[in-house]
């Protein structure tokens, strides 16, 4: 029977939704026991959040002052130690999981499967390659631990347990492994607040190079605010300094699946498209009728964004 | 003075529209342009800049791949690397095997810094640097957008989902390059000529004594599910209507 360990991701004392998405992925493996491990300085609150998720069998608290910040070099030996006895170890395909899980795999002497998008069987999965230009079906060996990352855009978040259902039991786990001191956390840029989070937002408005300046990019922010949407950007817009790096959508930015995605002045390079393939409705506004973004757009509007955006803002109203 | 080892992977060029073979056995590579993985070019550029500022004495570029990978290594030499190593094999190793091979090269070369790309744009694995750091028992700083060396330590700014994160690591360490670490230089013709005389050693994979047996079995390749053809609207009013019809406004 599958015994799955999920490494929880959290920030600012809250569980990242990516964790609940990993639970959904794991739950697609029939009859799986699903344990969630929370590594933190103080994991009580986080563990309670994880224990409230439907599908979770057990929550493990691994508390240590060294776990205050998510440093892969510090976490990996602990995850590897905890992983013994499990058949699968999953982490989210976020920068946290991508940094950590291969290090865990190597410590265990096993390979890693990146970006699970479909579960076909406990040992057979589908994942995208070549920026999503191809999807491969891959089979992992049954005789060793499978370390994998879960493509979060492919799974919905596991819901809360039903009212009346007891939370999953929470246990303290102690792992006795030596932790390295060669890697130290220094600082993290303050999170941009006030707007919905790009990775979980149901609506996203993204701007590209065509915006032309950081000042003009405010038009994207204004439209997003009107729609209650998160803001995204193409690589070109980020490189040009119109938007910060954490707003980049695409192969090397965030892979997202909002209900509504509005691409403004974005050409639709394959590396960008791979980040939005799972969006419900894609709207494209571009002055070039031949722009590749129109090949994937559900609704396309050809025209100059500098005349369209003010009109659109007005039409949407307050 | 210290050495930098850079991993250069040969991949299908980023501008090629990749297609799946009709029989699902792989992607079409016949006559397709191959290049240095774009992230690795950035990694090499960073190594060159470190050396130009006096932070390193030698840059060794290394690749695991078929004989044709010499082309990409020559390009790396033309960009400014001092030496190249090709670990020749016709079957692409999985990331763990690639990391084991690089560990062998580390044992030989004793670099202070290993610079990789954050991911190969072929399999989009994003694993090899992290695995190598684990096997080497050294720090890793992935998704680097800024590297500041300070004697035996480095301060690295990383592009993470939440924004930017800075960590400090002791050297030797593995760094993986993100897009905004730098903009790679163009290679000039005289350098291409000069690069022909630079040393390029070829090692047979079999001689390294590394277990490269694949763990995963790729059963088939498929094109991604296509999105249904959309509709074009002619103005903002139609756009707003279309959104309302879909219940999105
Ligand atoms: C390894 C690698 C990884 C990459 N990863 C990513 C990634 O994660 N995300 C990403 O986005 N890109 C990524 N890229 C870059 C990608 O290939 C494109 O270069 C980038 O997406 C282009 O951004 P853009 O569409 O904003 O700019 P452009 O391609 O320059 O397009 C601008 C568009 O705006 C339109 N336009 C211009 N003026 C107006 C106007 N007034 N009104 C309306 N429309 C107008 C133009 O018709 C054009 O279509 C990557 C590239 C590589 C090589
Ligand atoms: N066969 C290879 N030859 C040279 N470098 C490689 C090879 N495989 C992986 N790398 C390095 O590891 C990085 C990450 O690759 P991957 O884990 O395959 O996404 C690449 O950007 C390269 O720098």
Tell me the per-residue pLDDT of B69-108, one tens digit each, with 9 for 90 and over. 999 999 999 999 999 999 999 999 999 999 999 999 999 9
* CB-ligand 2 contact for B212 (6 Å cutoff): no
- Mark which of A156, A172, A188 sits at the end of a domain: A172
Please state the domain count of chain B.
1
Question: Are residue A149 and residue A47 in the same domain, yes or no?
Answer: yes
- Look at residue A198 and tell me if it is in a domain: no
Residue A287's domain is classified under what CATH number?
3.40.50.1220
Classify residue A121 as exposed, middle or buried by CB count within 10 Å of its CB (0-12, 13-18, 19+): exposed
Residue A131's domain is classified under what CATH number?
3.40.50.620
Classify residue A29 as exposed, middle or buried by CB count within 10 Å of its CB (0-12, 13-18, 19+): buried
Model pLDDT, residue B1:
63
Nearest to A41 by CA among A5, A72, A16, A10: A10
Question: Are residue A131 and residue A211 in the same domain, yes or no?
Answer: no
Centre of ligand 2 to C-alpha B176, Å, is 10
What confidence tens digit (pLDDT) does each residue in A83-115 have? 999 999 999 999 999 999 999 999 999 999 999
Tokens of B25: 């056995």
* CB-ligand 2 contact for B89 (6 Å cutoff): no
Task: Give yes or no for B189 touching A (CB within 8 A).
Answer: no
Report the C-alpha gap between A9 and A29 in whole angstroms: 21
Question: Are residue A93 and residue A220 in the same domain, yes or no?
Answer: no
Model pLDDT, residue A193:
66
Mean pLDDT across chain B, nearest whole number? 96
Residue among B118, B168, B219 whose CB faces A139 most closely = B219
The predicted model gives B172-178 an average pLDDT of 98
pTM of the predicted model over 0.95: yes
- Look at residue A208 and tell me if it is in a domain: yes
Nearest to B190 by CA among B82, B78, B52, B36: B78
What confidence tens digit (pLDDT) does each residue in A112-161 have? 999 999 999 999 999 999 999 999 999 999 999 999 999 999 999 999 99
Work out the minimum CA distance from A165 to partner chain B, whole angstroms.
Answer: 33
Question: Are residue A120 and residue A207 in the same domain, yes or no?
Answer: no
Question: Are residue A150 and residue A261 in the same domain, yes or no?
Answer: no
The predicted model gives B164-171 an average pLDDT of 98
Question: Are residue A217 and residue A150 in the same domain, yes or no?
Answer: no
Model pLDDT, residue A195:
84
- Look at residue A184 and tell me if it is in a domain: no
**Degrees, nearest 5: CA angle A7-A179-A36:** 15
Question: Are residue A118 and residue A19 in the same domain, yes or no?
Answer: yes
Q: Which residue segment(s) compose the domain that A116 sits in?
A: 3-172
CB contact under 8 A, A252 and B119: yes
Choosing from B8, B111, B116 the residue with most ligand 2 atoms within 8 A of its CB, the one to mutate for a pocket test is B116
- Best mutation target among A16, A154, A245 (most B Cβ atoms within 10 Å) is A245
Question: Are residue A158 and residue A214 in the same domain, yes or no?
Answer: no
Model pLDDT, residue B226:
87
pLDDT beyond 80 at A162:
yes
The two beta strands, A112-116 and A203-207, are: unpaired
Residue B14's domain is classified under what CATH number?
3.40.50.620
Model pLDDT, residue A318:
62
Chain A residues touching B216 at Cβ < 8 A: 111, 113, 138-141
Chain B residues touching A270 at Cβ < 8 A: 17
The predicted model gives B180-192 an average pLDDT of 94
Question: Are residue A104 and residue A161 in the same domain, yes or no?
Answer: yes
Model pLDDT, residue B229:
85
Task: Give yes or no for A247 touching B (CB within 8 A).
Answer: no
Please state the domain count of chain A.
2
- Look at residue A75 and tell me if it is in a domain: yes
Model pLDDT, residue A1:
87
Q: Which A residues in the span 193-222 are in contact with B, Cβ-Cβ below 8 Å?
A: 199, 203
- Look at residue A182 and tell me if it is in a domain: no
Work out the minimum CA distance from B125 to partner chain A, whole angstroms.
Answer: 6
The predicted model gives B142-147 an average pLDDT of 98
Question: Are residue A114 and residue A8 in the same domain, yes or no?
Answer: yes
Report the C-alpha gap between A272 and A270 in whole angstroms: 5
Q: Is residue A231 within 8 Å of residue A247, measured between CB atoms?
A: yes
Q: Which residue segment(s) compose the domain that B178 sits in?
A: 3-245
pLDDT beyond 80 at B54:
yes
Q: Is residue B242 within 8 Å of residue A299, measured between CB atoms?
A: yes
The predicted model gives B124-135 an average pLDDT of 98
Model pLDDT, residue B17:
93
What confidence tens digit (pLDDT) does each residue in A180-200 have? 999 999 999 876 667 899 999
What is the ipTM score, two decimals?
0.97
Question: Are residue A147 and residue A284 in the same domain, yes or no?
Answer: no
The predicted model gives A15-28 an average pLDDT of 98
Q: Is residue B112 within 8 Å of residue B56, measured between CB atoms?
A: yes
* CB-ligand 2 contact for B13 (6 Å cutoff): no
Task: Give yes or no for A44 touching B (CB within 8 A).
Answer: no
CB contact under 8 A, B143 and A188: no
Question: Are residue A160 and residue A214 in the same domain, yes or no?
Answer: no
Centre of ligand 2 to C-alpha B167, Å, is 23
* CB-ligand 2 contact for B29 (6 Å cutoff): no
- The answer for residues whose C-beta is within 8 angstroms of residue B107's C-beta and 6 or more apart is none
pLDDT band at A32 (very low <50, low <70, confident <90, very high): very high
Mean pLDDT across chain A, nearest whole number? 96
Model pLDDT, residue A192:
66
pLDDT beyond 90 at B208:
yes
Chain A residues touching B168 at Cβ < 8 A: 183-184, 186
Centre of ligand 1 to C-alpha B231, Å, is 22
Find the ligand nearest to B15 CA. 1
Chain B residues touching A281 at Cβ < 8 A: 243, 246, 248
Centre of ligand 1 to C-alpha A269, Å, is 6
Chain B residues touching A76 at Cβ < 8 A: 134
CB contact under 8 A, B223 and A135: yes
Find the ligand nearest to B87 CA. 2
The predicted model gives B176-196 an average pLDDT of 94
């Amino acid at each position: 029977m599958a015994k799955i360990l999920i490494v929880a991701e959290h920030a600012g004392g809250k569980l990242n939704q990516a964790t609940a998405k990993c639970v959904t992925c794991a739950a697609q493996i029939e009859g799986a026991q699903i344990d969630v491990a929370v590594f933190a300085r103080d994991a009580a609150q986080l563990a309670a959040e994880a224990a409230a998720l439907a599908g979770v069998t057990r929550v493990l608290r691994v508390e240590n002052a060294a776990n205050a910040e998510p440093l892969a070099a510090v976490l990996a030996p602990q995850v590897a130690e905890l992983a013994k006895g499990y058949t699968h170890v999953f982490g989210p395909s976020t920068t946290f999981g991508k940094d950590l899980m291969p290090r865990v795999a190597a410590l265990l002497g096993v390979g890693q499967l990146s970006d699970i998008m479909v579960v076909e069987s406990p040992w057979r999965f589908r994942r995208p390659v070549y920026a999503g230009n191809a999807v491969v079906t891959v089979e992992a060996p049954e005789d060793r631990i499978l370390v994998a990352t879960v493509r979060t855009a492919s799974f919905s978040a596991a819901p809360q347990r039903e009212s009346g259902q007891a939370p999953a039991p929470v246990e303290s786990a102690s792992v006795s492994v030596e932790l390295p001191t060669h890697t130290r956390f220094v600082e993290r840029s303050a999170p941009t607040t006030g707007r919905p989070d790009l990775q979980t937002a149901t609506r996203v408005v993204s701007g590209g190079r065509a915006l032309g300046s950081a000042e003009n990019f405010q038009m994207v922010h204004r439209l997003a605010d009107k729609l209650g949407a998160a803001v995204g950007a193409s690589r070109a817009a980020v490189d040009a300094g119109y938007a910060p790096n954490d707003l980049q959508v695409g192969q090397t930015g965030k892979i997202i699946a909002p209900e509504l995605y509005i691409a403004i002045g974005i050409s639709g390079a394959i590396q960008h498209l791979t980040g939005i393939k799972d969006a419900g409705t894609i709207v494209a506004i571009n002055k070039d009728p031949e722009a590749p973004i129109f090949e994937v757009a559900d609704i396309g509007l050809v025209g100059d964004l500098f005349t369209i955006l003010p009109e659109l803002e007005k039409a949407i109203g307050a | 003075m210290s050495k930098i080892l850079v991993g250069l992977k040969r991949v299908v060029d980023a501008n090629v529209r990749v297609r799946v073979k009709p029989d699902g056995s792989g992607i079409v590579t016949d006559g397709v342009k191959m290049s240095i993985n774009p992230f690795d070019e950035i990694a090499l550029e960073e190594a060159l800049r470190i050396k130009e500022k006096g932070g390193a004495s030698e840059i060794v570029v290394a690749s695991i791949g078929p004989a044709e990978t010499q082309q990409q290594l020559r390009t790396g030499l033309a960009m400014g690397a001092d030496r190249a190593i090709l670990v020749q094999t016709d079957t692409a190793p999985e990331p763990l095997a690639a990391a084991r091979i690089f560990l062998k090269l580390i044992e030989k070369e004793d670099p202070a810094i290993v610079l990789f790309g954050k991911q190969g744009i072929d399999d989009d694995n994003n694993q090899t640097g992290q695995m190598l750091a684990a096997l080497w028992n050294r720090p890793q700083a992935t998704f680097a957008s800024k590297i500041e060396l300070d004697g035996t330590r480095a301060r690295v700014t990383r592009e993470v989902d939440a924004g930017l994160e800075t960590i400090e690591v002791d050297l030797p360490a593995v760094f993986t390059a993100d897009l905004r670490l730098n903009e790679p230089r163009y290679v000039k013709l005289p350098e291409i000529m000069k690069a022909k005389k630079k040393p390029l050693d070829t090692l047979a994979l079999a001689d390294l004594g590394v277990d490269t047996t694949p763990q995963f079995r790729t059963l088939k390749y498929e094109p991604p599910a296509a999105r249904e053809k959309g509709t074009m609207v002619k103005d903002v009013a139609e756009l707003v209507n279309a959104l309302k019809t879909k219940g999105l406004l």
